[in-house]
Structure formats: structure tokens, C-alpha cells
Amino acid sequence: MLSNVIVICIAALSLALFLNLYRLIKGPTLPDRILALDTMYINTIALIVLLGILQQSLIFFEAAMLIAMMGFVGTVALSKYLLRGDIIE
């Protein structure tokens, strides 16, 4: 039963990622694209957690943690660039 549920969840998340991709390509503004990238990394964390349950392995936890940290830094850096025209002041 659990494996079926996981397959359904993976399908839902893939659909979510496609919707994010649509927003990433369509834009229309730069903040929209940053927001799409931000949502994409959060959805990817969920996908990796699901993969961890499917494989019954705790190793994927570290990957999810790293993506959470790097994704946040990336979002802040991109927004900072829009705000100041520079990342490091």
C-alpha cells in the first residue's frame, strides 16, 4: 500500500515541478523566475525525501539538507542582485 501511495505522491510532485518550469520559462518578470526556482528546490527536497522512503535509506537526508541550505542562499543572492546590482558589497 505504501509503495502505491509513494508513486502517487511522486506523480503529484512531478506535476508540481512541471508547473514551476512553466512559470520559470514564461516569466514574465525576473522576480517571477526567482520565485519559480525557489519553489522548485523546495519540491525537489520533497522528491528526495520520497526517494529515501522508497529505497529505505537515510542517506538521502543529507542531500535534502544540503539542497535546503544552498537553495536559500541562491534565492537570497539572486534577489540581492536585483536589489543592488551586485551580490557582494
The answer to whether 10 and 48 are in contact (CB under 8 A) is no
The grid cell for 83 is 536589489
The answer to whether 67 and 41 are in contact (CB under 8 A) is yes
Name the DSSP letter for residue 48. Answer: H
The interface with another protein within residues 12-71 (CB under 8 A) comprises: 12-13, 15-17, 19-20, 22-23, 27-32, 34-36, 38-39, 42-43, 45-46, 49-50, 52-53, 56, 58, 61, 64-65, 68-69
Name the DSSP letter for residue 59. Answer: T
Gyration radius of the chain's alpha carbons: 16
Site of interaction with another protein (CB under 8 A): 1-2, 5-6, 8-9, 12-13, 15-17, 19-20, 22-23, 27-32, 34-36, 38-39, 42-43, 45-46, 49-50, 52-53, 56, 58, 61, 64-65, 68-69, 72, 75-76, 79-80, 82-86
